[in-house]
């Protein structure tokens, strides 16, 4: 734990981790808040799943684009624009009683305007700490973000069941504005200037480690999204059990992430950590009761933050600094497409096969998520004893004759 205490003693690190967590906290609430609200309005988990899918598709399309914009216009202008539009669209979903088509359009706008806080902060990190501290910082970040998934579902479920489903969305929008402002005004955000990339849009995705991280992130988050839908369908939205189970799921991830921060990242690291998530989820489909899901999803959760930390590290070590934000944008896009497909497939099978269908979807995603990094081991950088930071941007220097 000394590595973490040293990190937090570094000027600005604790502040920026906390601010970005608050800025991203609404997105630990919105999936469940949209699911509960739209299901209540339409009476269908399948339709609610389509709204979640629309949000995720919008986020997936915007992720690499808005991340790249930060290298053109600067971090702050992009964050101000996207936060404003996203708040308006999300608030409209809560307040406008409409048909499915309108909800889908608003959800797409909300997704397209998702503030790129995650690519921004992970681009800033290498400028705040040395290369030896970067792997523990990624682990701390991946673990700390589980606070979002511990408290987010509990808060959302409590507000939705005790006050009203629309209030869960409105509370998330309030945090989006407050957290966004806090993050935007931080001096570290204003101090870092992302260089304009000299490569064409999308070229960074051709780098095998970035593609590997994108595909595995797609499968991991797709499985997690299906688990979330399955838990809600198992317990319904009339009690707090679903929120508690999802909180336990995230506590497992928090514990796993903090425990793995000092472990060197070898070429088998991603496959091993994904296997933990798959095994726990596979067991969960046989124990669809409170304590059964609490234990099995606690096990599954212990692989999530460690796997995400590996994804962040292999991307950071494989691209130039000017391409880092876009690379993280593509990884985020993979995760969001996974969330969209996982939610939609889970919602469809819940309507036809009950809550167990969602766990079938989750198991399929996570099994593939375990196999892919094993097959793609040659694309997985061996970071044992290596610097994790991005490669510097260099160009030829003209020497006068």
308-321 tens-digit pLDDT = 888 878 887 777 76
pLDDT at 401: 42
| Distance separating alpha carbons of residues 68 and 337, to the nearest angstrom | 19
**Long-range contacts made by residues 7-15, C-beta under 8 angstroms, separation at least 24?**
7/129, 7/133, 7/136, 7/137, 7/140, 10/128, 10/129, 10/133, 12/128, 12/186, 12/187, 12/188, 13/128, 13/129, 13/137, 15/186, 15/188
Question: Higher-confidence residue: 32 or 85?
Answer: 85
CATH topology of domain 12-379: Growth Hormone; Chain: A; (1.20.1250)
The closest of 10, 349, 21 to 180, measured between CA atoms, is 21
Start-end of H helices in 113-207? 117-124, 131-144, 146-162, 165-185, 187-191
201 touches 322 (CB < 8 A): no
Place 265 in a pLDDT band, splitting at 50, 70 and 90: confident
Which pLDDT does position 149 carry in this prediction? 65
- Average confidence (pLDDT) over 64-93: 89
- The gap from C-alpha 264 to its chain's centroid, in whole angstroms, comes to 23
Which is more confident, 185 or 243? 185
Question: In a 3-state reduction of DSSP, which class is residue 391?
Answer: strand
pLDDT, greater one: 348 or 395: 348
User: What does the pLDDT average to over 43-50?
Assistant: 80
Q: Reduced to 3 states, what is the DSSP secondary structure of residue 81? A: helix
**Tell me, what's the pLDDT at 298?**
93
| Domain definitions of the chain by residue range | 12-379
CA-to-CA dists, residue 56 to 41, 218, 257, angstroms: 20, 12, 25
238 — pLDDT class (breaks 50, 70, 90): low
Residues 6 or more apart whose CB falls under 8 angstroms from that of 9 comprise: none
At 89, give phi and psi (nearest 5°).
-65, -45
Q: Return the minimum-mean-pLDDT range out of 108-122, 206-220, 252-266, 369-383.
A: 252-266
Which residues, other chains included, contact 385 with Cβ-Cβ below 8 Å and sequence gap of 6+? Answer: 264
Task: Report the alpha-carbon angle 364-369-370, nearest 5.
Answer: 105
Q: Six-digit token pair at 109?
A: 């706008």
Per-residue pLDDT reduced to its tens digit, 34-43? 888 888 888 7
- Which residues, including other chains, have CB under 8 Å from residue 250's CB and lie 6 or more apart? 146, 147, 148, 149, 150, 153, 301
pLDDT at position 385, please?
A: 59
Residue 140 CA to residue 309 CA, distance in Å, equals 8
How many other C-beta atoms lie within 10 A of the C-beta of residue 374?
Answer: 15
Of 146, 139, 84, 88, nearest to 115 by C-alpha is 84
Strand blocks (E) in 238-394? none
**Phi and psi, residue 391, nearest 5°:** -70, 140
């Amino acid at each position: 734990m000394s590595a973490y205490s040293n990190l937090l003693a570094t000027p600005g690190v604790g502040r920026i981790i906390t601010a970005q967590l608050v800025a991203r906290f609404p997105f630990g609430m919105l999936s469940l808040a949209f699911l509960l609200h739209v299901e209540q309005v339409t009476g269908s988990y399948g339709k609610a799943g389509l709204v979640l899918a629309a949000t995720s598709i919008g986020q997936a399309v915007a992720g690499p684009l808005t991340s790249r914009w930060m290298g053109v216009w600067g971090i702050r202008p992009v964050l101000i624009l996207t936060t404003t539009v996203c708040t308006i669209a999300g608030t409209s979903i809560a307040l406008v009683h409409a048909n499915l088509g309108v909800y889908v359009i608003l959800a797409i706008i909300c997704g397209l305007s998702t503030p790129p806080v995650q690519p921004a902060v992970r681009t800033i990190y290498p400028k705040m700490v040395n290369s030896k501290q970067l792997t523990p910082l990624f682990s701390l970040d991946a673990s700390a973000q589980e606070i979002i998934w511990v408290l987010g579902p509990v808060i959302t479920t409590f507000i939705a069941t005790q006050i009203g489903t629309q209030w869960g969305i409105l509370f998330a929008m309030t945090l989006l504005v407050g957290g966004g402002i806090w993050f935007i005004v931080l001096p570290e955000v204003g101090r870092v200037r992302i260089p304009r990339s000299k490569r064409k849009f999308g070229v960074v995705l051709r780098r095998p480690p970035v593609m590997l991280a994108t595909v595995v992130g797609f499968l991991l988050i797709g499985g997690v999204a299906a688990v979330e839908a399955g838990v809600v369908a198992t317990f319904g939205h009339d009690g707090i059990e679903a929120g508690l189970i999802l909180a336990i799921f995230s506590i497992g991830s928090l514990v796993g992430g903090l425990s793995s921060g000092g472990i060197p990242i070898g070429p088998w690291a991603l496959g091993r950590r994904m296997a933990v998530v798959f095994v726990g989820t596979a067991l969960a489909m046989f124990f669809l009761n409170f304590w059964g899901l609490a234990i099995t999803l606690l096990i599954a959760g212990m692989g999530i933050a460690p796997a995400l930390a590996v994804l962040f590290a292999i991307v950071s070590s494989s691209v130039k600094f000017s391409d880092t934000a876009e690379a993280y944008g593509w990884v985020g896009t993979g995760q969001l497409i996974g969330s969209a497909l996982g939610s939609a497939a889970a919602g469809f099978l819940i309507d036809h096969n009950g809550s167990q269908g969602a766990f079938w979807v989750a198991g399929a995603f996570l099994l593939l998520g375990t196999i892919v990094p094993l097959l793609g081991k040659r694309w997985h950088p061996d970071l044992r004893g290596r610097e994790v930071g991005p490669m510097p941007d260099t160009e030829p220097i003209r020497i006068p004759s």
